[in-house]
Amino acid sequence: MKTRTIHVCTSCGSSAMRWQGQCPGCGEWNTLEARSGSTQGKTQNVSPASRPSRLSSVDLTRADHMPTGMQELDDVLGGGLVPGGVVLLGGEPGIGKSTLLLQLLSLAGTKDGHTLYISGEESLPQIRSRAQRLGLDQENLQAMATGSLEDILAALSSHGPYQLVIIDSVQTISSSESDSMPGAPTQIRQVSSSLIKAAKESGTCIFLVGHVTKEGQIAGPKLLEHMVDTVIYLEGDKEHLFRILRVIKNRFGPTDELVMFQMGALGLEVIQDPSTFFLQARDPALSGTAVVMAVDGHKPFAVEVQALATPSFLSIPRRTALGFDLNRLHLLLAVMEKKLQRSLAQSDIYTKIGGGLKLVDPGLDLGLVAAVLSSFHNQSLPERAIFWGEVDLNGQIRPVLGQDIRLKQAFRLGYKPVFCPRSPESDTGISTIMELQDMLFGSNNPGS
């Protein structure tokens, strides 16, 4: 057998016939390492599974969803766990990924499911201690502490088949076939491909925990998110009690779904009705606050938008936005200056979304305008008023996604008056921010 030397990039895994300073694949410098490879072709036998088949003859019994024991999580995943499916869970350190998956494993284990928790970060006593704090039934929990891919594959083949396997985390698992360190792109690619292959062959549903970078992306090659079947993120602020589980990709169900949790003494608890959860302890008599009917995924819920406009003693007034894009605030203030003829250039303006939420919903625009005007006039808004709508550069209020579900939710919660985009199907709504100002403050004009 003839051998040759190839050079493999430790960052992206691409190969080159000869060494060079810069990787041709990812552009990184000094990442090519010499490896020995074989030039002899290999003869492969074609397995029956790799032969073409008529779709009408394919057995769908393995594609049925299995309930997790948590109805809200089943809805997010599109019906439950899929045999042979691989789910990637990302989130910041300490956000509750391991807690959520240990609770999920306990629920699946109580339904006579053959489950296994594999940790490359914690020892077995640490796992048992956490399960004990969460009040979980430890008799139905099987755990394994290892960082070796070969040990995991051996356990799956000798003690399986398992219904559900959780691996925490994929960045801590390494294969002896790769010389790179655990967490390197080549290791993550090798480990993930081997685990995905094992899941498809055995029908085991595997959850992979992925660490994230400081930018919030899952560490490692982007290829990992393409390889798995489902990608979900656990988001939230560690200083607040709530968490949001969001679906980014799902081959077996809908995307843009989410479920809200709050951290309690026994782990993560589902918030059954998040529609008013973020309005707790709100005082509607204060100026500079507006209630907005936001939509995240397909769930409408009311949030509080807060604004503070105060005279500035700086040459360049401050603009602060917490929970949404700062550039969007700059845009809205420019539109208000132009169309409402309000002099905001000499005011520091601070805005935020109550409860530590982070939203990208364009329907927040109208509520932000109302909150800034309320603080600017130092006059509170109507107690049960609610807002949503996108504001364009001409001051017009444009329709946003989920108009119908926002309106139904607002009526169900008893909000009135409703300030939203005008639609042909309903007389409810306003057309411009000038109309909004007249309805809220009349001819009140403090001048420039």
Is residue 125 situated within a structural domain?
Answer: yes
Same structural domain for residues 190 and 221? yes
Q: What is the model's pLDDT at position 43?
A: 44
Same structural domain for residues 166 and 195? yes
**Token pair for residue 307?**
């604004």
**Token pair for residue 168?**
């925490």
**Token pair for residue 420?**
């939203």
The residue range of the domain holding 32 is 3-38
Same structural domain for residues 72 and 211? yes
* Element spanning 102, H or E: helix 97-109
Same structural domain for residues 365 and 281? yes
Is residue 425 situated within a structural domain?
Answer: yes
Same structural domain for residues 252 and 389? no
Same structural domain for residues 437 and 319? yes
Is residue 56 situated within a structural domain?
Answer: no
Q: What is the model's pLDDT at position 445?
A: 53
- pLDDT average per 10 residues of sequence, the chain (448 residues): 70 76 80 68 48 73 75 86 92 91 85 82 92 87 92 87 91 87 88 93 92 82 88 85 89 84 89 84 91 88 95 92 94 95 91 88 95 94 95 94 91 92 76 93 56
The closest of 448, 279, 325, 435 to 376, measured between CA atoms, is 448
Q: Domain with 228 in it: what CATH number?
A: 3.40.50.300
Q: Domain with 418 in it: what CATH number?
A: 3.30.230.10
The closest of 187, 113, 196 to 153, measured between CA atoms, is 196
Is residue 257 situated within a structural domain?
Answer: yes
Please identify, among 272, 298, 314, the residue that sits at the C-terminal boundary of a domain.
272
Is residue 123 situated within a structural domain?
Answer: yes
Please identify, among 242, 272, 302, the residue that sits at the C-terminal boundary of a domain.
272
Binding site, annotated residues: 91-98
Q: What is the model's pLDDT at position 80?
A: 87
Q: What is the C-alpha to C-alpha distance for residues 15 and 183, in angstroms, rounded to an integer?
A: 19
Is residue 24 situated within a structural domain?
Answer: yes
Torsion of CA 426, 428, 433, 437, to 10 degrees: 160
Q: What is the model's pLDDT at position 59?
A: 67
Same structural domain for residues 305 and 422? yes
**Structural domain count of the chain:** 3
Same structural domain for residues 285 and 431? yes
Q: Which long-range contacts (CB under 8 A, 24 or more apart) does 129-134 make?
A: 130/98, 130/99, 130/102, 131/102, 131/106, 134/99, 134/102, 134/103, 134/106, 134/266, 134/267
Is residue 49 situated within a structural domain?
Answer: no
Same structural domain for residues 175 and 202? yes
Same structural domain for residues 255 and 140? yes
Binding site, annotated residues for ATP: 91-98
Is residue 448 situated within a structural domain?
Answer: no
Same structural domain for residues 357 and 416? yes
Q: Is the dihedral of CA 34, 150, 218, 66 positive or negative?
A: positive
Q: What is the C-alpha to C-alpha distance for residues 343 and 350, in angstroms, rounded to an integer?
A: 16
**Token pair for residue 107?**
């629920």
Same structural domain for residues 246 and 290? no
